């Protein structure tokens, strides 16, 4: 995005800033709302993205700024607009002050950008939702198209508009293993593997040593839960399963269910986890509520680091690599969906009581939807697996009384592979290294 194309661009954009998929969405929200809150995990690039469209900034990690905000939150809301308040959650009173500030200025658009890497632990200090004044934009670690590892030739939004052209990009299992272990952290751009592979481990250490104690939780318990989640990656484990895995088989050390719930919520409050809920039309289907959520880390490098995986070891453990690749795909799909207009867009999965399952359903707020099966290798794109997708389509769309619209596309999203093409049955085969927003 060129500065001249964006009326909110200022002078704070950092040299070397690599454009992000959400840049355009941030511009749109600044034109529609008085403020925008950008949330997401630490180190994912929220601040640089905000600075690329801000004209002034107050940072709460500066001790003097922090002290001023505690004295009077309005002191950190002053500046040329859009004004950025970075890591606002450290002083929760800023939220209500920001809402008042926007109202006092006739709710004109593009006044404030707030960034946050955690839910404020003292939520009682917030009295107003900000609805109608402050929009929320979630950021993720970098997708492959943002880091330059995907050509982006196949547009996810284009697929919903019926646009598809074959593309080619050779991708190996070794590539997938590297990408899963390096992760999508902006800090590792341009780094050799020797150095980039250090970043996820340091991230975990920072979470356990700094973020978790700030949430008044035990680092030791958080560490065992993160390992249990990594062991059950891309699954829908019960609380009892996680508790047993946290205890390493020793029943005397098993945490109770409430403890597991509390620590899961903490990791979600730090934007380290995302849940995929079950999907089934129509909107009020009971299975939407009864299907357990599948839990994913926001980046595959986090469970890889927790498990001690490396590119070389994962090549010999394709089961674990396949689960990490699924996590990578969920990350990238969330990034690409985040750029699409509409507040009701969502990513889910499908599983029925007969065992029929589809890895990803993307449902847009206007009712359009698509179905995606994730496969580590294009060698897994078999007739048997294609038949399962077709059976799913017949089940969902075959009853004319249900009035369910046909999917805009059905797709195999693959790791190893070289060609993006349409099969004779209409199902797309798309290597992740050709996918973009």
The secondary structure of residue 21, as a DSSP letter, is: T
What is the reported pLDDT for 290? 59
What is the reported pLDDT for 128? 80
Are 175 and 40 members of one domain? no
Contacts of 286 (CB under 8 A, 6+ apart): none
Given a cut of 60, is residue 312 above it in pLDDT? yes
**Quick one: average pLDDT of 321-347?**
95
Task: Determine phi and psi for 83, rounding to 5 degrees.
Answer: -100, 130
Q: What is the pLDDT of residues 404-414, one digit of tens each?
A: 899 999 999 99
**Quick one: average pLDDT of 103-122?**
92
Are 119 and 158 members of one domain? no
What is the percentage of the chain residues whose pLDDT exceeds 90? Answer: 84
pLDDT band at residue 1, thresholds of 50, 70 and 90? very low
Instruction: Enter the pTM of the model.
Output: 0.93
Are 119 and 233 members of one domain? no
Given a cut of 50, is residue 3 above it in pLDDT? no
- For residue 59, the domain's CATH number is 3.40.50
Q: Identify each DSSP E strand in 208-345 by its residue range.
A: 273-278, 294-297
Q: Which residue has the tokens 């029929």?
A: 356
Examine the fold and report which residue of 106, 138, 170 is the final residue of a domain before the chain moves on: 138
Examine the fold and report which residue of 85, 118, 138 is the final residue of a domain before the chain moves on: 138
Are 198 and 112 members of one domain? no
What is the reported pLDDT for 392? 95
Given a cut of 70, is residue 285 above it in pLDDT? no
136 beta partners = 37
Examine the fold and report which residue of 80, 106, 138 is the final residue of a domain before the chain moves on: 138
What is the reported pLDDT for 282? 58
Are 200 and 282 members of one domain? yes
Are 129 and 191 members of one domain? no
Tell me how many domains the chain contains: 2
What is the reported pLDDT for 130? 79
Given a cut of 80, is residue 6 above it in pLDDT? no
Q: What is the pLDDT of residues 164-216, one digit of tens each?
A: 999 999 999 999 999 999 999 999 999 999 999 999 999 999 999 999 999 99
Are 209 and 101 members of one domain? no
What is the reported pLDDT for 4? 38
Are 106 and 157 members of one domain? no
Which of these, 266, 437, 237, lies nearest to 336 by C-alpha position? 437
What is the reported pLDDT for 5? 40
What is the reported pLDDT for 45? 97
Most confidently modeled of 128-132, 208-212, 232-236? 208-212
Are 62 and 208 members of one domain? no
Encoding tokens for residue 344? 């009701």
Are 416 and 319 members of one domain? yes
| Whether 109 contacts 31, CB under 8 Å | yes
Given a cut of 80, is residue 381 above it in pLDDT? yes
410 beta partners = 371
Are 82 and 187 members of one domain? no
Give the orientation angle of helix 257-269 with respect to helix 239-246, to 10 degrees: 90
d(CA 316, CA 336): 30
Q: How far is CA 36 from CA 113, 186, 222, 281, 371, in A?
A: 5, 22, 31, 32, 31
Are 272 and 310 members of one domain? yes
H helices within 124-163, ranges in order?
A: 144-147, 156-160
pLDDT band at residue 232, thresholds of 50, 70 and 90? very high
Domain containing residue 111: 3-138
Task: Determine phi and psi for 346, rounding to 5 degrees.
Answer: -150, 160
Q: What is the pLDDT of residues 27-61, one digit of tens each?
A: 999 999 999 999 999 999 999 999 999 999 999 99
């Amino acid at each position: 995005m060129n500065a001249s194309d964006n009326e909110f661009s200022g002078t704070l954009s950092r040299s070397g800033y690599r454009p992000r998929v959400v840049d355009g969405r941030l511009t749109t929200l600044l034109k529609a709302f008085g403020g925008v809150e950008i949330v997401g995990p630490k180190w994912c690039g929220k601040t640089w993205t905000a600075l690329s469209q801000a004209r002034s900034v107050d940072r709460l990690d500066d001790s003097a700024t922090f002290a001023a905000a505690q004295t009077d939150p309005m002191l950190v809301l002053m500046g040329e607009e859009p004004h950025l308040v970075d890591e606002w959650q450290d002083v929760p009173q800023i939220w209500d002050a920001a809402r008042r500030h926007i109202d006092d200025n006739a709710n004109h658009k593009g006044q404030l950008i707030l960034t946050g890497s955690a839910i404020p632990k003292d939520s009682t200090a917030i009295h107003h939702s900000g609805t109608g004044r402050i929009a929320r934009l979630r950021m993720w670690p970098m997708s492959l198209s943002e880091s330059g590892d995907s050509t982006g030739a196949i547009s996810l939004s284009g697929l919903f508009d019926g646009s598809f052209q074959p593309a080619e990009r050779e991708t190996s299992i070794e590539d997938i293993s590297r990408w899963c272990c390096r992760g999508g952290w902006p800090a590792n751009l341009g780094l050799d593997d020797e150095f980039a592979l250090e970043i996820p481990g340091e991230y975990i250490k920072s979470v356990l040593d700094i973020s978790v104690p700030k949430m008044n939780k035990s680092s030791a318990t958080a560490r065992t839960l993160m390992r249990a989640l990594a062991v059950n990656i891309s699954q829908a484990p019960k609380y009892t399963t996680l508790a047993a895995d946290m205890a390493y088989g020793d029943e005397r050390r098993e945490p109770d269910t409430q403890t597991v719930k509390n620590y899961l919520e903490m990791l979600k409050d730090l934007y380290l986890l995302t849940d995929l809920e079950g999907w089934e039309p129509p909107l009020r289907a009971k299975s939407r509520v009864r299907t357990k959520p599948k839990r994913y880390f926001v980046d595959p490098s986090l469970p890889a680091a927790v498990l001690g995986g490396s590119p070389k070891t994962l090549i010999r453990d394709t089961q674990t690599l396949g689960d990490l690749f699924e996590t990578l795909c969920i990350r990238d799909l969330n990034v690409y969906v985040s750029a699409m207009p509409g507040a009701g867009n969502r990513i889910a999965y499908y599983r029925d009581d007969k065992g029929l399952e589809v890895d990803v359903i993307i449902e847009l707020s206007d009712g359009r939807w698509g179905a995606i099966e994730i496969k580590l290798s294009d060698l897994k794109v078999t007739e048997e697996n294609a038949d399962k997708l077709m059976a799913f389509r017949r089940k969902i769309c075959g009853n004319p009384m249900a009035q369910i619209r046909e999917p805009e596309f059905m797709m195999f999203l693959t790791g190893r592979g070289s060609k993006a093409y349409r099969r004779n049955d209409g199902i797309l085969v798309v290597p992740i290294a050709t996918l973009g927003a």
